[in-house]
Structure 1
């Protein structure tokens, strides 16, 4: 993507007063928690689950909720950045992406700014590692790691598509249930879209008839536990583009939200002065696919659907 480069920011710490206020001892203990948790995710060990303790995860999840809840429903992300689509529990491929976006043997995770478009959990074998890895880096580099909500970051979905079962396989049932509820409590607060360099609108799903201005997204109240609370939020997580369609129609394949045509993309980009729209949500055989004269691109970053693809966008 041709996004103008700007100097990278320094390593950030979560803002004071957002879950990090208090005594120096309290701040020091949280820093140790963050560093210890991050070290667990610095490399991938083939075939090995990370040995998480429930108490450890309780603390991390509480920290993450404070940070995520403080963010806008529409993130403002500086360029350059790497944009990543669906991950779906493929922890090995998440690390492969970090390596491919790094240089001189260093992981890109400590060098680059990232925007993740959601669907971190379900279907793949290591949903817990994926979401915990992203939480670990978000705690360490909160302005370099930007996390959006996908449609699988919803309790009614991830209870049935793998995440809840994975937790039950790794913890006793009361702990698994509590962890699942706590993770979904954070998911309910995740931002719904991002604007990169003021020109590229990004979301997991797509656009809908209720999106007329960027303030429409900024004004969405979170947490959102039920998509019936906001039709626009539902479209941002669930909508799909359709070739040769004009306007919007009900999304009969998903059973929720809408499908949108090329005319809606062109009109929105013109009205909001956008260069393009980037979304995820659909499997692309080549890892990405263009729509509407390259005004929209779908990015799919779970390459075990097609293991030879490197499915992310970087500049």
Structure 2
């Protein structure tokens, strides 16, 4: 009997875990699918872009309520699906099944938390052991993370990435040549794409306080867009209290999709709807009401200062 993805999706929408054997099969099939995708995937609008989710499963369902369910809405997810929240397994399981079921309508970009090193510290590893009694599911998903694409381009005009730019990358073609099928390295262009951040106080590249990637300023953004004939950079990776931020004369946007981050930051969230004519609308939303009965449970993260610093 073949894999029934519709049944898996229905089960996950009810926040019910899939069997370990099912997750293994799903991850293997997803790797086969992702292997055929480029480091830079070109798509067309309309598309709804989602920032960091971090295991906040009820808020992911809220996103579907607001933006529409697959396959009726095209989705681009910009990474950081796991860690911090209470339901990383349910979140990444659902997104993986949706990608496998609707491969042309769902795009999954790799974030800095889609790595073995980070997930061992910030919750996903511990959650897998607690909910399945072993590390197998963690291994299945982290192996699959190695196959996720690094970037997406919308209508040849909007460059989408989890973190930001790299001093080693000047053109989109350079991203296409990277070997992405591995753990995220500590440094180099692949690390920069998932770790870097814009900095309004800088014009050029500078050392990042995160300890990985770089900060970059308006001149870097302007030059990258000019070289590649694009108009905008769209990324996630940074908590925005209003749910989004627009910088550098509308050349760069950050979209953040985890409301009340870690169930205690009090921030709004947003999804970005990109229209067929390039128009961009930030659909801002608050935390899903279902979180109220779960948010008092202990989390894997330590102190709030650490939560805010290491996104």
TM-score over 0.5 for the pair:
yes
Residue 6 (structure 2) aligns with: 35
SS at match of 2:4: helix
- Structure 1 pair 307/97, CA: closer, same or farther in 2 (3 Å)? farther
8 A Cα contact 2:23 2:140, kept in partner:
no
Q: 1:267 aligned to 2:223?
A: yes
Q: 1:54 aligned to 2:20?
A: yes
1:154-169 aligned at under 5 Å gives the runs 154-169=115-130
Q: 1:192 aligned to 2:150?
A: yes
- C-alpha RMSD of matched pairs (Å): 1.5
Q: 2:241 aligns with which of 285, 291, 309?
A: 285
Residue 17 (structure 1) aligns with: none
8 A Cα contact 1:244 1:262, kept in partner:
no
- Structure 1 pair 131/154, CA: closer, same or farther in 2 (3 Å)? same
| In 1, Cα distance between equivalents of 2:151 and 2:115 | 16
8 A Cα contact 2:160 2:234, kept in partner:
yes
Q: Given the two structures, how large is their TM-score scaled by the length of structure 2?
A: 0.84
CA shift for structure 1 position 226:
4.0
Q: 1:172 aligns with which of 133, 155, 164?
A: 133
How many aligned residue pairs are there?
A: 271
| In 1, Cα distance between equivalents of 2:115 and 2:267 | 30
| Unaligned runs of at least 5 residues, structure 1 | 1-28, 103-107
| In 1, Cα distance between equivalents of 2:116 and 2:177 | 23
CA shift for structure 1 position 273:
1.1
Residue 273 (structure 2) aligns with: 314
8 A Cα contact 2:17 2:90, kept in partner:
no
Q: 2:79 aligns with which of 81, 102, 118?
A: 118
SS at match of 1:40: helix
Moved over 2 A (4+): 304-310
8 A Cα contact 2:232 2:252, kept in partner:
yes
Q: 1:294 aligned to 2:250?
A: yes
| In 2, Cα distance between equivalents of 1:206 and 1:240 | 6
Q: Given the two structures, how large is their TM-score scaled by the length of structure 1?
A: 0.83
| In 2, Cα distance between equivalents of 1:307 and 1:100 | 20
| Unaligned runs of at least 5 residues, structure 2 | 275-311
Between stretches 218-227 and 157-166, larger displacement belongs to 218-227
Residue 72 (structure 1) aligns with: 38
SS at match of 1:201: strand
Residue 301 (structure 2) aligns with: none
| In 2, Cα distance between equivalents of 1:310 and 1:59 | 33
CA shift for structure 1 position 307:
5.8
